Amino acid sequence: MSKIVSAEQAVQSIRDSQTVASVGVIGWVVPDATLAALGQRFEQTGAPRNLTFYFPCGTGDAVGIKGMDHVAREGLMKRIVSGSYINPVDPRTGQRPALMQLIQENRIEAYSWPIGASMHWLREVARKSPGYVTRIGVGTYADPEQGGGKFTQRCSEDLIQKITLNGEECLFYPTWPIDVAIIRASSADEFGNLSFEDEPLVSSGLALALAAKASGGRVIAQVRRIVGRSERLATQVRLPGMFVDSIVVDADMMMTTDTPYDRNYLVATGGPHAVPSIPFGPDKVIARRAALEVRKRELGIFGFGAAADVPLIMAEQGLIDPQTGSEDYWFTTEHGSYGGVVMNGWQFSANLNPTALLDGLQQFDVIDGGLCKFAALAFAEYDSHGSVNVSKFGKANPGAGGFTDIAVNAERLVFTGTFTTGGLEVDYADKRMMIRKEGKVSKFVRDAQSITYSVHGGVARGQTALIVTERAVFEATPDGLVLCEIAPGVDVRRDVLDQMAFAPARILDPLPLMDAALFDPATGAGAGASAIREEVAISDTVTS
């Protein structure tokens, strides 16, 4: 009997109160048609009800590829557990995602886990272990003493426990069954053997399927095409068909946001592709300065947001060829794409012209094993206790994503972001910076609204950490922040110290200027970029 069914037929077997898990990384590898069919079934029939949804990563962009926003309906969704949440404003409607509204209005139970935990937990479900144990996250928002990952007041159950193992505090994530896994691949035969030749990410797809089958559950696979049993090598099939119950064919599914298909995300040497150009301004200055910390032949991992601009700057400077990548600079993200150029915005996660790919669980083995020596990450808040927050601030509830695992395990950290936000206006002239209008919200606060990572604790373990902004650079030390560079044209008292809710532990005297070339719109590729790197390296040596 054929396993090929419509999306509507595939979701008919989902019953009240089950746990439904699905894959996706922003717009990548999202089984969007199947999730849409589940949301439509509820709208039309009022069933199923009170589902628990498990998304290891933020699934869908909530705009063109709605992903988990399809099922963000009160009554259908009782609880959601996710490694990250998507919170963009839809440019057509001006509205936040339906899921964010449910969370902010406390209409569902919403839990947020670090993606390392949300990925590795699936392995424990698949092997029927009691749960996942990790050191990562102790003292952060995932720690029960700091909220236990609860993002709404409706959350009454403790999904994360704090235990002591051999005298060491750890976090324990108990397992529970997954009843239905909705995954995505490129091709399937009628038996259900799956291959991923058109997908630049695998993410948690394989792990979700095995966890569901170990739980006695069902696997629904959405694919682009059906192929014959003999059309692929066995080495191309990543998931055997006996683990797949239903196949949904969607020939028109997008590769990712704004991208129907682009082979450059699948091959190491591709054709012409326009690498995004970052307009000159604070973000570009920050990325230029952070790029100076990247070393050759050291695996660097880049997080979502401002940090993802760094490889694009290096491509603009001629240090990386966008079409062939670089054997000298080794780049990856938390989602398993290696080589090439890390992209920003909606295209973040899958590298342009990659050389290799790991699935999501293997990638967090790499991260948690400390193989990513350098990490560049964005920050939303930095507080007087040395805590960084990206997980929950103001009306935004993005969760940590891979931030916590990455930050804990890297040896060298660079946190990037503007000094203030909410209306910041900056001008540049003669390689100097002028603040025309200060942002309404400072990112340097007394107490962070959520603790995503303790930089102070990392430094105590031997990490190094820089905080790079458009106007100043700080180094984290055991005593607190040290102001170690200032932008030309910036007043230290007015533009830095008065914009902080706490004072730096120390200010270098004399205080070096950030290199003037960073503030020159004309600075570009080749010798100019190399000169900047050399000059700043010399400056760092002199002032350290």
Catalytic residue list? 334
Residue 248: which of 503, 535, 6 has the closest Cα?
A: 6
Residue 56: which of 138, 132, 139, 152 has the closest Cα?
A: 132
First to last CA, the chain: 71
Residue 119: which of 176, 172, 53, 55 has the closest Cα?
A: 55
| Residues 247 and 3 sit within 8 Å (Cβ to Cβ) | yes
**Measured in whole angstroms, how far is the alpha carbon of residue 159 from the centre of its chain?**
22
Tokens of 500: 């902080």
Contacts of 113 (CB under 8 A, 6+ apart): 81, 82, 83, 121, 142, 149, 159, 160, 173, 399, 400
| Residues 363 and 330 sit within 8 Å (Cβ to Cβ) | no
Counting every residue written for the chain, the total comes to 544
Contacts of 484 (CB under 8 A, 6+ apart): 473, 474, 475, 508, 511, 512, 543
Tokens of 355: 């050389």
**What are the DSSP calls for 334-392, one per residue?**
TT-EESSB---GGGTTSPBS-SEE--HHHHHHHHHTT---EEEEE-SEEETTSEEE-S-
SS3 content of the chain, % helix, strand, coil (to 5): 25, 25, 50
Residue 450: which of 391, 382, 370 has the closest Cα?
A: 391
Contacts of 436 (CB under 8 A, 6+ apart): 425, 426, 427
CA distance 182 to 101: 24
